[in-house]
Amino acid sequence: MSIVHHLDEDILLDHAAGTLAEGFSLAVATHLAVCPECRERYAMIEGAGGELLDTIEPAAGGDAGWQAVKARISNAPLPTAKPARRGASGGSAPVLPEPLRSYVGSDVDAIRWKPMPGAAQFIIPIRDGRAVARLLRIPAGKPVPEHTHRGMEMTLVLSGAFADEDGTFTRGDIEIADGSLTHQPVATNDADCICLAVTEAPLKFKSWIVRLFQPMLGI
């Protein structure tokens, strides 16, 4: 199945410029890993960054800078080769593409899921703390409680599929939601849906029962 839900230029620009919170950049970079179409547009956007660097008014700094760098590179040992990546153990490709797999620390089969009502989650460690990233496993045919958002939410499907007001999302598809969208994602019947969900603020659930338990779930 090919990807139908892509990233817009404004998000790609934020990723290219380095403005985006780390958690959102994780979702963007993982989508780029599986989406040649967005990668091509992204290459153009980074190219625009290179072009701006090329045409910036240069700031001269005298010769000391060169002398300092020259001394450093002459004394530096040759860079060591990169350590081998945590690859797939079997012959098949991992479910979690890089950079997500390194952030999680393993592929999906070794994740220590934390149960939550109607689903399971794994909180992904993110250093900058500006957005919360989690893997969600929604059982086949089951919904995530209906909610809207207090800020941006990015959801990237890794296996299975879900459907909501904006369409059906399969592996590689990414949904960007904000306060203007109220939705109730439902996993399709054929398999559990595993997705990466990144939020910058807690969700706003419609049901008061869910709201009651929300602090315990941390969602």
Binding stretches for other proteins (CB under 8 A): 8-10, 13-14, 16-19, 22, 25-26, 28-30, 32-36, 39-41, 43-61, 65-66, 68-70, 72-74, 76, 79, 85, 87-88, 93-99, 101, 103, 127-128, 172
Question: Which of 164, 170, 165, 219 minimizes the C-alpha distance to 194?
Answer: 170
Q: Should residue 41 be labelled a site residue for Zn ion when binding is judged by CB under 5 A?
A: no
Reported as type and span, the H/E element at residue 132 is: strand 132-138
| Residue keyed to tokens 């007001």 | 165
Please give the structure tokens belonging to residue 1: 């199945």
For residues 156 and 159, give the distance between their C-alpha atoms in angstroms, rounded to a whole number: 9
Binding-site partner at residue 32 among other proteins, Zn ion, none, CB < 5 to 8 Å by type? other proteins
Best CA proximity match to 165, nearest among 153, 177, 179? 177
Residue reference for tokens 């709201």? 211
Out of other proteins, Zn ion, none, which partner does residue 191 contact, by CB within 5 to 8 A per kind? Answer: none
With binding defined as CB under 5 A, does residue 6 bind Zn ion? yes
Residue 190's binding partner out of Zn ion, other proteins, none, with CB under 5 to 8 Å set by partner kind: none
Q: CB of residue 159 vs Zn ion: minimum separation in angstroms?
A: 17
